[in-house]
Amino acid sequence: MGGYLTVSLRGLFLYVVCRKTCIYNPATRQSITLPAVIFAQQKPKKSVNYFFGHDPVHDQYKIVCSAVIDGEKITSEYWVFVLEPRGFWKRIEYDDQQPHFPRRQGPCINGVIYYTAATLTCRRKFYCFDVRSEKFSKIQAPHEVSQFGKSVGFINHGGKPALFHYTHIGRTGESELWVLEDGGEWSRKSLVLKPCHRHLVDGRNFMKLIVHGTAQNNEVILALPSPCYLLYYDLINNDLRKVNINIETTQDQWPDVCVTVMDKCESIMQLET
For residue 221, give its domain range.
Answer: 4-244
Kindly state whether residue 260 falls inside one of the protein's structural domains: no
Kindly state whether residue 268 falls inside one of the protein's structural domains: no
The confidence band for 122, taking pLDDT boundaries of 50, 70 and 90, is: low
Contact 23, 12 (CB under 8 A): yes
Kindly state whether residue 21 falls inside one of the protein's structural domains: yes
Kindly state whether residue 253 falls inside one of the protein's structural domains: no
Kindly state whether residue 256 falls inside one of the protein's structural domains: no
- Rounded CA-CA distance 13/266 in Å is 11
How many domains does the chain contain in total?
Answer: 1
Contacts of 20 (CB under 8 A, 6+ apart): 33, 34, 36
- Ranked by mean pLDDT, the top range of 63-77, 103-117, 135-149 is 103-117
Handedness of CA 46, 50, 55, 58 (dihedral sign): positive
- pLDDT for 252 beyond 70: no
Kindly state whether residue 205 falls inside one of the protein's structural domains: yes
Which of 81-90, 122-131, 154-163, 261-270 is predicted least confidently?
Answer: 261-270
- pLDDT for 181 beyond 90: yes
Kindly state whether residue 251 falls inside one of the protein's structural domains: no
> CATH no. for residue 209?
2.120.10.80
